[in-house]
Amino acid sequence: MHVIVLMKQTFDTEERIRLVDGKIAEDGVKWIINPYDEYAVEEAVRLKEQQDASVTVVSVGNDDVAQALRTALAMGADEAVLIDGTELQDERAIAKAISAYLAKTQFDVLLAGNFSIDNGAGQVAIRVAHQLGLPHVAAITQLTIDGGKATCVREVDGDVQTVEAQLPALFTAQQGLNEPRYPSLPGIMKAKKKPLTNVTLADLGLSPDDVAPRVARTDLSLPPKRQAGQRLSGDVEAQAEQLADIILQATGQAGAR
């Protein structure tokens, strides 16, 4: 069984966003594997441990992304592929590049995160599946693979669905799917020797026209800063009294005394 994981490198969740010259400053930022993609990597490595599987991790970006791919290799993935994303400006283009790569590859299970915590559009993985003619099940919290069939659990609008899917298929990982491991020291050592292949758009037979953007960013801004408000004084009784009035006011149920 061949499992492919689509993953992205993102800012750490504890990073503040700073704008310098109208752009998001990246100096000194701590980078991580997008947390939802990390669940996908972990799930793939578990499949490898439980069944006879090989795991390939695929990412799109510049050379710095190799660091995140090495982390996935250290977690237990076998191979990494880095598609040059420097010319890819929207989700459609990124999905085209990944699809072009996957179209030449045989696999059974495609895993990805539910969305990325930076861009948060949640488009790329589903576009890839659609382009390749594969079914998908998004935001899964449980996955069981048995032969050519997968059974998974997903939460949608307060309902819990159990879905069966024929492989090959895409599954996107939701929080709760698993608890990702930390790479072990031997894992980190081994990862250095595992293959990491760089792929260019030309390698994929894509021209600049094929990936010309359909969407462009025209502006970037930070939300207005919130100010610290008022500390309520008095004893618990007085504080609760004040809070109750504040809440009733804000929810339009004021007038109560």
Cβ closest to other proteins, residue 35 vs residue 187: 35
Q: How many residues does the chain have?
A: 257
Shortest Cβ 80–other proteins spacing (Å):
23
Give the C-alpha separation, 72 to 74, whole Å. 5
Q: Which residue in this structure is represented by tokens 């420097």?
A: 86
Minimum distance from CB of 252 to other proteins (Å)? Answer: 8
Query: Which one, 44 or 98, has the nearer CB to other proteins?
Result: 98
> What region does 103 belong to: left with phi over 0, alpha with psi -120 to 50, or beta?
alpha
C-beta of 185 vs 228, nearer to other proteins: 228
Comparison of 168 and 183: residue with beta carbon closer to other proteins? 168
Q: Are 163 and 137 in contact (CB under 8 A)?
A: yes
Residue with Cβ nearer other proteins (52 or 219): 219
Distance (Å, whole) CA 153 – CA 159: 10
Measured CA to CA, the distance from residue 114 to residue 125 in angstroms comes to 8
- In angstroms, give the least distance from the CB of 163 to other proteins: 5
Radius of gyration of the chain (CA): 22
- Least separation in angstroms between residue 197's CB and other proteins is 26
